[in-house]
Amino acid sequence: MKPKLIDTSKQVVLSDYHWKLQTIEGETFDFHSVKGKVVVLNFWATWCPPCIAEMPSMEALYQRYEFNDEVVFMFVSNEDVEVLQKFLVSKSYTFPVYQPVSTYPEAFNVSSIPRTFVLDKNGAIVIDKLGVANWSSDEVIETIDNLTKAF
């Protein structure tokens, strides 16, 4: 259940940042704006039991880095805004949720959820985890801390 780092020789570097999203508040978000930052990108849904199971650890991780400008959290779902807002309020989650406006970059290749990617500042996918995980573990925190220092 712990996400693992991908061996450096097998990491895919994101070259396509052309992806438009919008916040659940209706604001446009250009994925290109995360270039040069550490990104935690989670694809999920409110009806997905494994997604729901990992959300407390995701919220804890988000709260740890919420005010760190070097780390960007993106929780992406294609559900209706009302459904997403109701879910977030009922669970007291504060992480940012986005809806895709255009197709995500090919490197993500999401066919089932939850699916979480962690990108380093150079756009390398250093973690690609399909399924539920403990995202607030010491190992994940250490990884993100190290990624924020590197460049």
Every domain of the chain and the residues it spans: 8-149
Q: Considering the domain 8-149, what is its CATH architecture?
A: 3-Layer(aba) Sandwich (3.40)
Cα four-point dihedral sign 45, 49, 50, 51: positive
C-alpha closest to that of 63 among 36, 86, 85, 95: 95
Residue 151's pLDDT is: 60
Q: Convert the chain into a string of H (helix), E (strand) and C (coil).
A: CCCCCCCHHHCCECCCCCCEEEECCCCEEEHHHHCCCEEEEEECCCCCHHHHHHHHHHHHHHHHHCCCCCEEEEEECCCCHHHHHHHHHHHCCCCCEEEECCCCCCCCCCCCCCEEEEECCCCEEEEEEECCCCCCCHHHHHHHHHHHHCC
- For the record, the structure tokens of 130 come out as 């399909």
Burial class (CB in 10 A: 0-12, 13-18, 19+), 78: exposed
pLDDT one digit per residue (tens) for the chain, 151 residues: 778 899 999 999 998 899 999 999 999 999 999 999 999 999 999 999 999 999 999 999 999 999 999 999 999 999 999 999 999 999 999 999 999 999 999 999 899 999 999 999 999 999 999 999 999 999 999 999 999 997 6
